[in-house]
A and B are shown apart, each in its own frame.
Chain A
Amino acid sequence: MSTEDIPTREVAKRAFATEFNDAGFSFKESDDERAPVYLLFPTGAKANRVFLIGTLTETEDVGEDNEYWRGRIVDPTGTFFVYAGQYQPEAAQELRELTPPAYVAVSGKPRTFETDDGTTNVSVRPESITVVDATTRDRWVVETAERTLDRIAAFEDEGNEYARMANDEYEIPIDQYIESTVSAVESLDESTDELNTASTEGTAQNL
């Protein structure tokens, strides 16, 4: 639905926390200073934006002079870290005001930073954080599983340049993402409703 003269909005890719946190490699596709930075998913896709839903379990102001909020958001496979400071005022305000635990939906930009010991941490700089309910979280888990499996199924395809790039950059057996995806989906049966009450209190879901 986009035409040539309108810059295309980047799709918000879906990945579980375990794959997202493994994605320590990022790259640009042009020398332009303002060219988008892409994170490379180990299952072979580039991501300039992500959308995730999970349980916000902890918020903390880790800033020194200015407020800089960190949120831990847990999905069935691991933990996403989101950071919001003065340049993300709405998201920072959400993290300041939300009381964990709560199901939250986050869209944002992937960021990588290298720690002192040389490992690369991957986090999300949120564009928005909103409270959602348990069924919406479940839907995200199933959707993210589908997208992940689609990437894995296409990994060996000829001409899948991001799969080849992932093959070169990472030494991760791709099968492990099938396992984590399956257990994520299987976890849905057990966990439904555990937080439903908590997360709907904070928001009026009008429809």
Chain B
Amino acid sequence: MKNRTEASDIMTDLQTHAAEIAEQFSEELDIDETTVRDRLNTLVEEYSVPADEARRSVINSYLDEADIDRDELSGSDGNEEIPLASIDEDEQWIDVTAKVVELWEPQNEAIAQVGLIGDESGRTKFVAFETSDLPAIEEGAVYELENVVTDEYQGDYSVKLNRTTDIEKLDTDITVGDSATTIEGALIDIQSGSGLIKRCPTDGCTRVLQNGRCSEHGTVDGEFDLRIKGVIDDGETVTEVIFTREMTEKLSGITLSEAQQMARDALDTSVVVEEIRQDLIGAYYRISGPELGRYLLADTVDHLTNPADPEAVLIKARSI
């Protein structure tokens, strides 16, 4: 029974792949879904090729046939223009109109430009690669970017510019929404109230319990949560940053249920924060998010693992 279900799932998948491929080539080639599906089916059923690989192989043969580059294959025509904040899928071809909020120093030779673009809805990281050979975009200017691809890394979305991206500078300004602040520095401390904590379960309260007590609702049976209150310090300024459960799980590699298990095994919740401290303190991060009172709420976090570039410093030294 189970096998049959799986088999029919695969067939449905192939049908979907076939429909997408046929659609992608609808302008260049005269092909129909059935032909595509048969080719996929042959690879998958007779040659035991995984569906993804089969799809790739079939697309490549059609690319050859139509004599076009893989890079130029852009999904269907006429992408949807969408607000940056609503990007929630990987590998979508979209159009955006956005202002270049910030350009960062590329940490990799393959990258031509990297930074943040923003529209009324929010901000998103963008990357343009050297190989795409695109005109450079300028900080502070507004552009219409047609044919960019969304990318997802650990739940954070970005957009990639590519060879087919059409860049048009607009003579307007955009008020970029969600005034996210971006900081960079070393995580030099994790404050108390971090790690595995308990929150008050009363509706709308969520206060963190101290010794099983909520400051508003007294002794309650709390609900477990994970968070980090961290201190980012770049040698000139100090910023306190809150990492929510999702971000804490990502950074530490410890899920809430694993944390609870660790605490049960040790009969002590503090083992969780101790392990997080050992893993995270001393590392450098780039963090952006909105400011909430004295804290920055970490929306996106990049662990800065690339070797630092010493050239700029040597130039500075020579100028003194």
Interface band, chain A: 35 or more
- For B310, list chain A residues within 8 Å (CB): 141-142, 145, 185-186, 188-189
Q: Are B235 and A149 in contact (CB under 8 A)?
A: no
Closest A residue to B278 by CB, please name it: A130
Q: How far is the CA of A31 from the CA of B186 in the complex (A)?
A: 32
Closest A residue to B291 by CB, please name it: A1
- For A10, list chain B residues within 8 Å (CB): 238
Contact stretch, chosen from A18-26, A116-124, A131-139, A160-168: A131-139
Q: Are B253 and A12 in contact (CB under 8 A)?
A: no
Q: Are A205 and B233 in contact (CB under 8 A)?
A: no
The residue that B313 contacts in the complex, of A51, A145, A205, with Cβ under 8 A, is: A145
Task: Indicate if B29 sits at the interface (CB-CB under 8 A).
Answer: no
- Residues 163-207 of A, flagged 1 when their CB comes within 8 A of B and 0 if not, give 000000000000000100110011011001000000000011111
Task: Indicate if A39 sits at the interface (CB-CB under 8 A).
Answer: no
Task: Indicate if B309 sits at the interface (CB-CB under 8 A).
Answer: yes
Q: How far is the CA of A6 from the CA of B283 in the complex (A)?
A: 26
Q: Are B320 and A12 in contact (CB under 8 A)?
A: no
Q: Are B308 and A139 in contact (CB under 8 A)?
A: yes
Task: Indicate if B296 sits at the interface (CB-CB under 8 A).
Answer: yes
Question: How far is the CB of B276 from the nearest CB of chain A, in Å?
Answer: 10
The residue that B284 contacts in the complex, of A104, A136, A149, A152, with Cβ under 8 A, is: A136
- Residues 231-260 of B, flagged 1 when their CB comes within 8 A of A and 0 if not, give 101111111100000000011111000000
Most chain B CB inside 10 Å of its own CB: which residue of A13, A53, A149: A149
Q: Which of A100-132 contact B (CB under 8 A)?
A: 104-105, 107, 127-128, 130-132
Q: Decide yes or no: A128 and B277 within 8 Å by CB, A139-B307, A143-B235, A192-B307 being known contacts.
A: yes
Q: Are B188 and A139 in contact (CB under 8 A)?
A: no
Q: How far is the CA of A133 from the CA of B301 in the complex (A)?
A: 19
Q: How far is the CA of A104 from the CA of B314 in the complex (A)?
A: 25
The residue that B252 contacts in the complex, of A2, A130, A182, A206, with Cβ under 8 A, is: A206
A-B contact pairs, 8 of them (CB 8 A): A1-B237, A12-B235, A105-B283, A139-B307, A145-B310, A146-B316, A149-B317, A186-B314
Q: How far is the CA of A140 from the CA of B236 in the complex (A)?
A: 14
Closest B residue to A145 by CB, please name it: B313
Q: Are B236 and A11 in contact (CB under 8 A)?
A: yes
Task: Indicate if B169 sits at the interface (CB-CB under 8 A).
Answer: no
- For B283, list chain A residues within 8 Å (CB): 105, 132, 136
Task: Indicate if A28 sits at the interface (CB-CB under 8 A).
Answer: no
Q: Decide yes or no: A203 and B278 within 8 Å by CB, A135-B307, A138-B307 being known contacts.
A: yes
- For A146, list chain B residues within 8 Å (CB): 313, 316
Most chain A CB inside 10 Å of its own CB: which residue of B231, B252, B307: B307
Q: How far is the CA of A1 from the CA of B189 in the complex (A)?
A: 17
Q: Are A149 and B320 in contact (CB under 8 A)?
A: yes
Q: How far is the CA of A206 from the CA of B294 in the complex (A)?
A: 28
Most chain A CB inside 10 Å of its own CB: which residue of B237, B239, B305: B305
The residue that B188 contacts in the complex, of A51, A145, A181, with Cβ under 8 A, is: A51
8 new A-B contacts, CB < 8 A, other than A1-B239, A105-B281, A207-B253, are: A12-B186, A130-B277, A135-B306, A136-B284, A142-B308, A182-B314, A206-B253, A206-B279
- For B78, list chain A residues within 8 Å (CB): none
Task: Indicate if A66 sits at the interface (CB-CB under 8 A).
Answer: no
Question: How far is the CB of A124 from the nearest CB of chain B, in Å?
Answer: 13
Question: How far is the CB of B229 from the nearest CB of chain A, in Å?
Answer: 12
The residue that A142 contacts in the complex, of B189, B252, B279, B309, with Cβ under 8 A, is: B309
Task: Indicate if A34 sits at the interface (CB-CB under 8 A).
Answer: no
Question: How far is the CB of B39 from the nearest CB of chain A, in Å?
Answer: 40
Question: How far is the CB of A196 from the nearest CB of chain B, in Å?
Answer: 11
Closest A residue to B276 by CB, please name it: A206
Closest B residue to A144 by CB, please name it: B235
Task: Indicate if B111 sits at the interface (CB-CB under 8 A).
Answer: no
Task: Indicate if B110 sits at the interface (CB-CB under 8 A).
Answer: no
- For B278, list chain A residues within 8 Å (CB): 130-131, 203
Q: Which of A6-48 contact B (CB under 8 A)?
A: 6, 8-14
Q: How far is the CA of A200 from the CA of B278 in the complex (A)?
A: 12
Closest A residue to B317 by CB, please name it: A182
Question: How far is the CB of B259 from the nearest CB of chain A, in Å?
Answer: 13
- For B296, list chain A residues within 8 Å (CB): 1
- Residues 134-177 of B, flagged 1 when their CB comes within 8 A of A and 0 if not, give 00000000000000000000000000000000000000000000
Q: How far is the CA of A3 from the CA of B292 in the complex (A)?
A: 13
The residue that A105 contacts in the complex, of B186, B240, B304, B314, with Cβ under 8 A, is: B186
Q: How far is the CA of A139 from the CA of B282 in the complex (A)?
A: 11
Q: Are B188 and A107 in contact (CB under 8 A)?
A: yes
Task: Indicate if B303 sits at the interface (CB-CB under 8 A).
Answer: yes
Q: Are A105 and B236 in contact (CB under 8 A)?
A: no
Q: Are A139 and B281 in contact (CB under 8 A)?
A: no
Task: Indicate if A62 sits at the interface (CB-CB under 8 A).
Answer: no
Question: How far is the CB of B297 from the nearest CB of chain A, in Å?
Answer: 12
